[in-house]
Amino acid sequence: MRSERHTKSGFRLLQSFNLHGNRFREDFMNDMRILAEIRDVNIARIIAIVEEEPFSAIFEYGELGDLSSFLKNRDRDAPTSYECSLNLITQIASGMKYLESLSVPHCDLAARNCIVCKDLLIKVSDQAMYCSKYDNEYYVDECYAKIPLRWMAWEAVLSRIIFPVYLYTKGKRSCQSDVWSYGVTIWEVLTRCEDVPYANLTSEQVLENCGLWYHSLDSGGKRKCPRILEQPVFCSDDLYRLMLRCWCKRAEDRPSFQEIHCYLKKLTLD
């Protein structure tokens, strides 16, 4: 076991991860080792890694829980203000900007994977997939792997589920795919995580929708546009335009996290 000093923040021991084969074990351990070396105010630290059965890790855990639960519970007493929401997503962008500077893709960015510390300090984490709390938010493939389907960029879905061969060409894990997920995370924050993205679609329909980004024409020759998340009620036009840029079809047309963070800082000052 490799460990760090105890921090003032709480931490959570992840449930044993059911590893189906060496590939999943290697992916898990590689991700945990990378995160263990990262130091940033908006990135949750890994306190310890268990490198033998049962494979697991202990994450820094915020006093106020994960962001998804925080927003749902907070709204019962007092609605989260737009200014507060803007502060939350700006902090997430700051943490992702740091990962981007290291060329480290997250691949599961969502409100459930952000923790809330005292004074509303937000830290990007990576524990939800290895816990049972949010099992209903993941799609399980034929290899029993959890996939954050509703948060993923279309090209990431193609590489992972629909056309596995795509992985070896354009579908590699990337920070540009994280930008797409970040746009979905903004939507979550502004809707107070009241429901999952595309709640009115089945998993199969979400998969079909991802395919529409790749195939612009249906069998009848009619143009069929892919669906995108609608503008939340508590969302400015400026912020929704940013979300739409995060969902550009071409990954290279999406803004970097550096650009996103700078833009949000300007919105905060306006």
Options 31, 66, 108, 126, the catalytic residue: 108
Q: Is the dihedral of CA 152, 155, 159, 163 positive or negative?
A: positive
Distance CA 229, CA 185 (A): 11
Angle, CA 80 vertex, CA 78 and CA 82 arms, to 5°: 140
Taken as a whole, the chain contains a residue count of: 270
CB 42 within 8 A of CB 95: yes
Distance CA 148, CA 92 (A): 18
| CA 123 and chain centroid, separation | 12
Beta-carbon contacts of residue 174 (< 8 Å; ≥ 6 apart): 105, 251
In angstroms, the Cα distances linking 78 to 67, 73, 75, 84, 171 are 15, 9, 5, 12, 42
Helix/strand/coil percent split, the chain, to 5: 50, 10, 40
75 counts as catalytic: no
Just list the catalytic residues: 108
